[in-house]
Structure 1
Amino acid sequence: MSDAGEFIDAALQQESSWSRADELQSRLGKEPGGSGLRVYGASVGAVRGTIRNAGRRYPGLSRDEITALSSELWALPVFERRLAAVVLLQTNVLLLTNSDLTRLEGFIREARVRDLVDPLAVDVVGPLVNGLDVLSRVRADSVLDRWVREPDAWLRRAALLSPLLALRAGAGDWDRFVRHAVSVLDGTSGRFTSEADADALTDGAVVREAVSRVLAEMAKKRPELQFTSARG
């Protein structure tokens, strides 16, 4: 393990709490990818603080070093390590390029829990794509178009959530989101996610919940945006 990886792992273990670990293990165990995850019991704030401290201790890491460290942290099935990888990428998202979508796709396929997939989609994939030049953006958009058509419901969820930050900010491509959402809903029962569906987290619920989240936020922040599914 690299010096930075060892520093982050040790810091996360020092922030552990048995009670927090029990609560987190119970919650994550209800999701498809959660049963195989170990937990230290560190809080989200502690994870973020650890990454800030690592940035001060190891300044000036290159893109290759950042992405390699993210993969190193992700390699062990420990929730806090994987969340640290997400926060690391979020913190350094301006260094990422469209070629990093392959790595992110692998993370999303393996994660299968909302606490990892959603921040990867909203805070990493979305800003990464929005920061690209025109040619690179076209290539990245084609990747997200493929994700929407994937059998993997968590990739579809990530593609749907990825424009959320831009849409919140008054930008983003609303028409494109609608096209993606309609194509996803056409492949499910078409109804939005109920609380019972969300608990069960069937493939259909995984993607419908993502559509519902975006629509709920836009109803508050940009009520002028209209959504009409193909099912009427």
Structure 2
Amino acid sequence: MSDAGDFMDLALQRESSWRRAEEAEARHGGGHRYYGASVGAVRGTVRDALRRHPGMTHDDITALSSELWEVPVFERRLAGVVLLQSCVRLLTNTDLTRIEGFVRSARLGALVDPLAIDVVGPLIEGLDVVGRVRADSVLDRWVRDPDGWLRRAALLSPLRALRAGAGDWPRFVRHSRLVLESPPRLSHEGDGDALAAAAVSVVLAETAKHRPELEF
């Protein structure tokens, strides 16, 4: 492991609690192991790591996120999400390939949703015109993918921008209709259509609070 990765893993283990680990497993289900560190501890660990290793480049950040994600421990992967959130200004459209792999392997809303809303969305909003066109083509592919989690990520990604009065509302509507009107499909682990449809409902409910003039 890298120095930063080793520091973060040890810090998360020091914050572990068997009771929180049991509660997290009951809440999120199987597929991951759990240290039992709190969300606050995860965020603090990422903050401390960035302070200990200032000046990390794009490649440093993305490599560290993959290192954290490699071991299927929930808190490690959540730390990877928080790391990308904290350094989203360094990310480019080419990083969507790495994030796609994270989404496909996570299969858990507590990881997929913040990846979509707080990483993919801001990443795309910060791109130049050429990068934005390329990123939009990636999301067009995601929303047609058989994997319900990937479709969910595509649909949730514009949420922050839409709430803030920006974002591409017609594009979200097109993506939503594509998902809602497609023939039923099953994801790898169950009803992928329900995962995607729930994402549409979340975005509609949130935008209605801030931009009631938008029509679906």
Cα 1:188–1:122 shift into 2, 3 Å: farther
**Residue 138 of structure 1 corresponds to which residue in structure 2?**
133
Choose from 112, 115, 126 the match for 2:110.
Answer: 115
Q: Hey, what's the Cα distance between the residues in 2 that align with 1:118 and 1:81?
A: 16
Secondary structure of 2:143's match?
helix
- The one-letter amino acid paired with 2:33 is R
Secondary structure of 2:165's match?
coil
Q: Does 2:214 correspond to 1:225?
A: yes
Taking the TM superposition and a 5 Å limit, the aligned residue runs for 1:57-72 are 57-72=52-67
Q: Does 2:30 correspond to 1:43?
A: no
**Residue 18 of structure 2 corresponds to which residue in structure 1?**
18
Tell me, yes or no, if the aligned pair for 1:98 and 1:140 is still in contact at 8 Å. Answer: yes
- The one-letter amino acid paired with 1:167 is L
Q: TM-score, normalised by structure 2?
A: 0.96
Tell me, yes or no, if the aligned pair for 1:188 and 1:204 is still in contact at 8 Å. Answer: no
What is the RMSD of the two structures over their aligned residues, measured on CA atoms? 1.2
Choose from 123, 145, 161 the match for 1:166.
Answer: 161
Tell me, yes or no, if the aligned pair for 1:93 and 1:124 is still in contact at 8 Å. Answer: yes
- The one-letter amino acid paired with 1:96 is L
Secondary structure of 2:78's match?
helix
Q: Does 2:194 correspond to 1:216?
A: no
Q: Hey, what's the Cα distance between the residues in 2 that align with 1:184 and 1:147?
A: 11
Choose from 173, 186, 192 the match for 1:203.
Answer: 192
Percent identity, please: 70
Q: Hey, what's the Cα distance between the residues in 2 that align with 1:132 and 1:83?
A: 24
Q: Hey, what's the Cα distance between the residues in 1 that align with 2:191 and 2:9?
A: 33
Shift of 1:19: 1.2
Shift of 1:83: 0.3
Unaligned stretches of 5+ in structure 2? none
Taking the TM superposition and a 5 Å limit, the aligned residue runs for 1:189-200 are none
Q: Hey, what's the Cα distance between the residues in 2 that align with 1:146 and 1:52?
A: 34
Shift of 1:23: 0.7
Q: Hey, what's the Cα distance between the residues in 1 that align with 2:212 and 2:145?
A: 30
Q: Hey, what's the Cα distance between the residues in 1 that align with 2:215 and 2:146?
A: 27
Q: Does 2:182 correspond to 1:155?
A: no
The total of aligned residue pairs comes to 212
Choose from 89, 92, 117 the match for 2:87.
Answer: 92
Q: TM-score, normalised by structure 1?
A: 0.89
Q: Hey, what's the Cα distance between the residues in 1 that align with 2:18 and 2:183?
A: 39
Shift of 1:203: 1.1
Choose from 75, 81, 88 the match for 1:80.
Answer: 75
Q: Hey, what's the Cα distance between the residues in 2 that align with 1:39 and 1:187?
A: 36
